[in-house]
């Protein structure tokens, strides 16, 4: 592609050279630069790749994009832009011939609920016979393929490359999770969302290399409405009025407690041998009686968001109802096993806030005992494990303390930290360092009517110990325990 064609929509200065040359690809890893591609120098959290420009030139690269002044004496084309990451986003879109324009693109942001809502929307669209792609925390999914990603919202080049693969595979609807970091790091720049969805907001991702304070976090969450044709917002969320009034696109609303375009009411928590979930009614723009195969009020919010979006898309209501009746999201309030005696749930909750929300939700189902199996990640803030110990003491009837990605710490030391807040509050517990053994113990020693929550890892498929990752899945561990102890399915 001609260099000048890659610069579409960008403000730039040609410092030296010509824009008439051709390049085959764009790279931002200096080790991959050569005479066939364009190199973009970027400032990272730890490395500024502008320092590698002499090396890049030695490797034969003839076209370089920078965001700061550099001295280049050799015969290369040098282009200066305001922000290299923004340039990467726009140029990647041009390189892959703007694939997002060939799909209906649905972006979802919010502190919680992005993954679940994305999978609900995907399930409904697929039930309606649509070909769907999903990008988010669980990875990239389309046309029967599943690919892992390093970030909820991948780097812009990877996004655009994936969009092109999806279009070529016949995908017509793209559902993607949009993180605040994704907006801050320009990963979504140049994408126009047909629909921008906002689930909720709470203080999170504040600290070094993330956001300096809550206001910055909120600002980047709000950016979804600056690049959407149509917005959809949860009016029960904190700051909903501020975000709605400041939006740059037309807005549609959903809620449980407030008036909204789509409203859920008459919630009933249902726990049966073969079903754990919620029944509720939807009124407003459409009228539905919904049976949702995921527990809790916050999943009603997620479902209501998905219902509103799919109704706006004109999806048949039978597809909506059938999909939600059977929906399952790996590692997100996932019913891993259920029968007349107990219900076992696997969830990603890995901090005090998420853990408390989960246990409060499960308490609504009036279990005989609420049992929680958990640990806490090593080499992370100790406040997280202290908080989880406190929540376990206050909200669970019994805790089984175990390993969860201990990294370079000892599992026993992490458990001791959890106990330092759990024990003084009178929490009932036992310690089983091995996570598989802990899960097996929880299931084999259940009491009739128990709900067992295995939390922290969700759909992760590894244990991280001393820098080595070995395969481990909570869901697979539950399946093993069910077979080992000959537990009857519902």
3-state secondary structure of 258: coil
> Dihedral through CA 111, CA 163, CA 60, CA 84, nearest 10?
-40
Q: Is 30 annotated as a binding residue?
A: yes
153 annotated ligand binder: yes
Q: Is 179 annotated as belonging to a binding site?
A: yes
Residue 110 known to bind ligand: yes
Measured between alpha carbons, how far is 412 from 409 in angstroms, rounded to an integer?
9
| Residue 152 annotated as binding site | yes
CB-based contact 308:261 (threshold 8 Å) = yes
DSSP SS3 for 302? helix
115 is in an annotated binding site: yes
402 is in an annotated binding site: no
Alpha-carbon span 87 to 81, nearest angstrom: 7
Q: How far apart are CA 124 and CA 315, in angstroms?
A: 8
What is the rounded CA–CA span in Å between residue 304 and residue 256? 9
Q: Is 151 annotated as a binding residue?
A: yes
Which residues are known binding-site members for ATP? 110-116
Which residues are known binding-site members? 30, 110-116, 151-153, 179, 187
């Amino acid at each position: 592609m001609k260099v000048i064609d890659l610069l579409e929509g960008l403000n730039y200065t040609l410092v030296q050279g010509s824009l008439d040359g051709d390049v085959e690809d764009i790279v931002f890893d200096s080790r991959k630069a050569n005479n066939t591609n364009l190199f973009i120098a970027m400032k990272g959290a730890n490395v500024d790749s502008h320092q590698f420009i002499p090396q890049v030139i030695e490797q034969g690269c003839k076209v370089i994009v920078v965001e700061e002044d550099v001295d280049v004496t050799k015969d290369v084309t040098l282009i200066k832009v305001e922000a290299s990451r923004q340039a990467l986003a726009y140029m990647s879109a041009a390189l892959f011939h703007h694939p997002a324009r060939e799909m209906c693109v649905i972006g979802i942001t919010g502190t919680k609920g992005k993954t679940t809502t994305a999978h609900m929307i995907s399930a409904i669209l697929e039930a309606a016979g649509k070909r769907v792609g999903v990008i988010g925390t669980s990875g990239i999914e389309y046309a029967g393929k599943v690919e892992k990603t390093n970030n909820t919202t991948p780097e812009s080049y990877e996004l655009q490359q994936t969009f092109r693969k999806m279009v070529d595979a016949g995908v017509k609807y793209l559902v993607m999770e949009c993180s605040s970091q994704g907006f801050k790091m320009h990963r979504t720049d140049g994408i126009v969302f047909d629909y921008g969805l906002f689930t909720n907001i709470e203080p999170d991702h504040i600290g070094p290399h993330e956001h300096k304070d809550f206001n910055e976090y909120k600002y980047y969450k709000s950016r979804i409405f600056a690049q959407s044709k149509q917005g959809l917002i949860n009016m029960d969320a904190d700051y909903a009025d501020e975000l709605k009034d400041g939006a740059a696109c037309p807005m549609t609303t959903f809620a449980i407690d407030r008036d909204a375009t789509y409203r859920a009411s008459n919630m009933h928590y249902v726990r049966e041998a073969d079903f754990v979930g919620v029944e509720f009614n939807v009124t407003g723009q459409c009228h539905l009686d919904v049976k949702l195969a995921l527990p809790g009020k916050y999943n009603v919010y997620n479902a209501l968001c998905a219902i509103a979006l799919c109704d706006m898309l004109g999806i048949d209501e039978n597809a909506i109802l059938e999909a939600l009746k059977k929906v399952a999201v790996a590692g997100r309030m996932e019913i891993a096993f259920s029968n007349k005696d107990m219900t076992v749930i696997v969830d990603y909750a890995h901090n005090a806030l998420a853990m408390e929300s989960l246990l409060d939700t499960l308490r609504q189902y009036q279990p005989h005992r609420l049992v929680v199996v958990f640990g806490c990640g090593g080499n992370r803030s100790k406040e997280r494990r202290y908080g989880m110990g406190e929540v376990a003491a206050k909200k669970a009837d019994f805790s089984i303390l175990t390993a969860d990605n201990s990294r370079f710490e000892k599992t026993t030391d992490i458990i001791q930290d959890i106990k330092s807040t759990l024990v003084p509050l009178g929490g009932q517990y036992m310690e089983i360092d091995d996570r598989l053994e802990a899960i097996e113990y929880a299931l084999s020693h259940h009491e009739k009517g128990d709900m067992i929550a295995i939390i922290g890892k969700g759909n992760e498929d590894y244990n991280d110990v001393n820098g080595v990752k070995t395969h481990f899945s909570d869901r697979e561990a539950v399946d093993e325990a069910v077979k080992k102890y000959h537990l009857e399915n519902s």
